[in-house]
């Protein structure tokens, strides 16, 4: 077995990280993946059980990308609290594995969807595409509701010219679909071509449809190949 491909565990330094490299091909770009609340911790493994990492295992042929998978230690702190560590892991993966710094996208689910929105906007010049899944702009545990509109506007202002796809279950009672709808509306108002996919009858787990059943992998390949 080639130990320089597959899931490679980086030594934990506050924020653990796993880097995935496809076994049978050169990476077709790099994706930064941010997990949800249930995968928080410091064990470097729970972050691989849900969302995109699961589909890297089930259908690796559909996902010929390098994927950087940090693990958020604290459930009640937002991903953007750890953005310095996240971006350091991304930079290290690009450097260590000779990846193209100009072909990077960001995605995440639930709390990671919040992270994809916020870190994607904070470093919009680094990401060719931003894809939040069942995400939300304001982090409920730390930011007052009164700041919601300003955060939505800030994210939409920054990402208006970026390729954006947003996925959400219409029956989601954990993170209401209105969270994605309001960001999509704000993006549209700024002339964005962002796409919103709402899944009828689907509760919080819209990630299996997004990563496993949609054409997202093919879309990433097209975006990252430009």
pLDDT digits (tens, 9 = 90+) for 171-216: 999 999 999 999 999 999 999 999 999 999 999 999 999 999 999 9
What confidence tens digit (pLDDT) does each residue in 26-80 have?
999 999 999 999 999 999 899 999 999 999 999 999 999 999 999 999 999 999 9
**What percentage of the chain exceeds 70 in pLDDT?**
97
pTM of the model: 0.96
pLDDT tens-digit profile of 16-26? 999 999 998 89
Task: Give Cβ neighbours of residue 171 (< 8 Å, ≥ 6 apart).
Answer: 200, 201, 202, 203
Q: Are 133 and 199 in contact (CB under 8 A)?
A: no
CB 16 within 8 A of CB 42: yes
What's the confidence (pLDDT) of residue 12? 67
Residues 6 or more apart in contact with residue 47 via CB below 8 angstroms? 16, 18, 35, 39, 41, 53, 69, 70, 71
């Amino acid at each position: 077995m080639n130990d320089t491909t597959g899931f490679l565990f980086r030594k934990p330094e506050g924020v653990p990280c796993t880097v995935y490299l496809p076994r049978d091909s050169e990476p077709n770009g790099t994706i930064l993946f941010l997990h949800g609340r249930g995968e928080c911790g410091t064990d470097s493994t729970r972050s691989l059980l849900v969302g995109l990492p699961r589909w890297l295992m089930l259908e690796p042929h559909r996902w010929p990308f390098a994927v950087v998978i940090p693990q958020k230690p604290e459930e009640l702190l937002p991903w953007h609290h750890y953005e310095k560590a996240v971006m350091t892991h991304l930079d290290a993966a690009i450097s260590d594995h000779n990846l193209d710094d100009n072909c990077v996208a960001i995605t995440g689910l639930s709390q990671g969807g919040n992270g994809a929105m916020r870190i994607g906007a904070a470093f919009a010049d680094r990401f060719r595409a931003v894809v939040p899944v069942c995400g939300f702009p304001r982090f409920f545990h730390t930011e007052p509701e009164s700041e919601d509109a300003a955060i939505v506007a800030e994210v939409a202002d920054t990402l208006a010219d970026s390729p954006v796809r947003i996925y959400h279950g219409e029956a989601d009672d954990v993170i209401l679909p209105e969270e994605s709808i309001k960001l999509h509306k704000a993006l549209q108002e700024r002339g964005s071509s962002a796409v919103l996919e709402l899944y009828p009858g689907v509760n919080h787990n819209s990630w299996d449809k997004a990563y496993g059943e949609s054409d997202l992998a093919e879309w990433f390949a097209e975006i990252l190949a430009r």
